[in-house]
C-alpha cells in the first residue's frame, strides 16, 4: 500500500460524521414524527385536502412508504424492485383508511429495524442504481429518502395549519 | 485497553455511515437548493405571503441563517452566542430586500466552507448544549439544523405552488 492510499484510507476511517447505528435512530425518529403527522389529519382531509394543486397528504405518505420499503431492501441486497407482499412501490395506491396506512407504516418500520443490522459493512459507501434509475452512493440514496420524507411532511404541516390543526412539534421524535 | 473498549472502538471506526467531507457536500447541496427557492419567490410574496397563519418565507429563511451562522461556529468552537458582525441569531429581522438576504445566505455559505475543515477531529460525536439550550451530540445538532431547513423549505414549496409558481426540482442540488 503506498502512502497516498494509506492516507486516503486513514482519512475515511478517522472522520466519520455519524455511525450507522446512530443514523438508524435518526431515521426512525423522523418516521415516528411523520406517523404523528398522519395521525393528526382528520380521515377525510388526509385523503382529499390539498393546496396549490399538490397531492393530498395520503398520496405523499404512500410515496414515502413506496420508497422506504423497496429502498431498505435495495440498500441491503441491491434488488430495487417492488415489494411483492404487500405490493409496495412508489406507484402503490393508498388503502382506503388511515388505519390501514398506519399499519403499512408500522410494517415498514419493522422491516427497517430487521434489515438494518444485516446491511453489509461498507455498503453505504458503495455506488448503486437506486430503483434502477438513480445512480449515487448508497448513503446519498438513503439521505435522499429521508430528506424527501421531511420535505413532504413539512408540506403536510402547512395543510394541517391551514385546516386550523396544530401539528406535532418538529423536535418531537419519541 | 481491555477487550470491551477495543470492540467498542472498532465498531465506531468500522461503521461510519458518511464521512465529514461527504456530509459537508450534502449540506451545501441543500443550501444551494434553498437559495434557488428564495430566488423563485417574487419580492413582495417573499416578505408577505403566507398560508395557515404561518410565517412568510423571508422569516423562515432568516431562521435558517440565524441558526446556521452561529451554529457552524458553535460546532467548531463551543461558543454558541450570536454572530456580531453581521448581527445574526435566530431572532435577527430580515433585511429589506431579497438581494440582501441572498448576500447574507452566501456569506454563511462561505463561513461554513471556511470553518468546516477547522472542526476538531471527533467533534461530531461530542455532546454539547447548542445555543445554550439544546443538549445533544454535535452530529444530531447539525442534522437538526439541516432537517429544519428542509422542513421549512418544503413549506416554501407550498407557498410557491399556491402562488402558481413552479418551484425548483427537489433533486436539484447543483
Residue-wise pLDDT tens digits, A15-45: 889 999 999 999 999 999 999 999 999 999 9
Q: What is the pLDDT of residue A4?
A: 46
Spell out which chain B residues touch chain A, with contact meaning CB-CB distance below 8 angstroms. 11-23, 26, 30, 51-54, 121, 124, 137, 139-140, 143-144, 147-148, 150-155, 157-164, 170-171
Choose the weakest-confidence range: A51-65, A84-98, A138-152: A84-98
Contact flag A151-B152 (C-beta cutoff 8 Å):
no
What is the total residue count of chain B? 174
CATH of domain A24-162: 1.20.120.450
Q: What is the pLDDT of residue A15?
A: 80
Averaged pLDDT for residues A122-141: 96
Do residues A94 and A63 lie in contact, with contact meaning Cβ atoms separated by under 8 Å? no
Residue of chain B whose Cα is closest to the Cα of A13: B13
Q: What is the pLDDT of residue A74?
A: 97
- pTM of this structure: 0.92
Helix (H) or strand (E) holding B71: helix B57-77
Reported as a single tens digit per residue, the pLDDT across B49-99 is 999 999 999 999 999 999 999 999 999 999 999 999 889 998 899 999 999
Averaged pLDDT for residues A94-100: 97
Contact flag A15-B12 (C-beta cutoff 8 Å):
no
Per-residue confidence band for A14, with pLDDT thresholds at 50, 70 and 90: low
Question: Is residue A68 over pLDDT 50?
Answer: yes
Between CA B165 and CA B82 the distance in angstroms is 35
Instruction: List, for chain B, all residue ranges whose pLDDT scores fall below the cut of 70.
Output: 1-14
Phi, psi of B82 (to 5 degrees): -60, 150
CATH of domain B31-162: 1.20.120.450
| Cα-based distances in Å from A33 to A30, A45, A70 | 5, 19, 21
A162: nearest CB among B17, B52, B151: B52
Do residues A98 and A41 lie in contact, with contact meaning Cβ atoms separated by under 8 Å? yes
Between CA A105 and CA A69 the distance in angstroms is 9
- Compute the nearest-CA separation of B20 from chain A (Å): 5
Averaged pLDDT for residues A143-172: 98
Q: What is the pLDDT of residue A106?
A: 98
Contact flag A18-B124 (C-beta cutoff 8 Å):
yes
Q: Which residue has the higher pLDDT, A122 or B6?
A: A122
Between CA B93 and CA B98 the distance in angstroms is 13
B137: cell is 451530540
Q: Choose the mutation target among A136, A145, A147 for the interface with B, i.e. most B CBs under 10 Å.
A: A147
Contacts of A139 in chain B (CB under 8 A): 17-18, 22
Residue A12's CB is within 10 A of a number of other CB atoms, namely 16
Contact flag B19-A22 (C-beta cutoff 8 Å):
no
ipTM of predicted assembly, 2 dp = 0.92
Contacts of B164 in chain A (CB under 8 A): 52
Residue of chain B whose Cα is closest to the Cα of A154: B151
CB within 8 A of B59, min separation 6: which ones?
Answer: B94
Q: What is the pLDDT of residue A90?
A: 85
Do residues B27 and A140 lie in contact, with contact meaning Cβ atoms separated by under 8 Å? no
Q: Choose the mutation target among B27, B147, B166 for the interface with A, i.e. most A CBs under 10 Å.
A: B147
Per-residue confidence band for A6, with pLDDT thresholds at 50, 70 and 90: very low
Contacts of B143 in chain A (CB under 8 A): 18, 26
Contacts of A148 in chain B (CB under 8 A): 170
Do residues A151 and B153 lie in contact, with contact meaning Cβ atoms separated by under 8 Å? yes
A64: cell is 414515502
Amino acid at each position: 500500500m503506498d502512502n497516498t492510499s494509506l492516507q486516503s484510507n486513514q482519512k475515511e476511517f478517522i472522520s466519520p460524521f455519524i455511525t450507522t447505528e446512530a443514523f438508524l435512530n435518526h431515521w426512525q425518529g423522523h418516521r415516528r414524527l411523520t406517523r404523528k403527522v398522519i395521525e393528526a389529519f382528520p380521515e377525510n382531509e388526509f385523503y382529499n385536502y390539498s393546496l396549490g394543486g399538490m397531492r393530498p397528504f395520503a398520496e405523499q405518505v404512500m410515496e414515502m412508504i413506496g420508497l422506504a420499503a423497496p429502498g431498505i431492501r435495495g440498500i441491503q441486497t441491491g434488488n430495487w424492485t417492488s415489494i411483492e407482499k404487500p405490493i409496495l412501490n412508489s406507484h402503490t395506491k393508498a388503502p382506503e383508511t388511515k388505519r390501514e396506512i398506519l399499519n403499512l407504516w408500522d410494517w415498514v418500520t419493522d422491516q427497517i429495524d430487521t434489515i438494518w443490522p444485516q446491511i453489509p459493512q461498507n455498503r453505504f459507501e458503495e455506488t448503486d442504481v437506486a430503483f434502477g434509475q438513480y445512480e449515487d452512493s448508497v448513503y446519498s440514496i438513503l439521505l435522499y429518502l429521508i430528506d424527501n420524507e421531511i420535505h413532504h411532511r413539512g408540506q403536510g404541516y402547512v395543510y394541517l395549519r391551514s385546516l386550523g390543526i396544530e401539528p406535532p412539534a418538529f423536535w418531537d421524535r419519541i
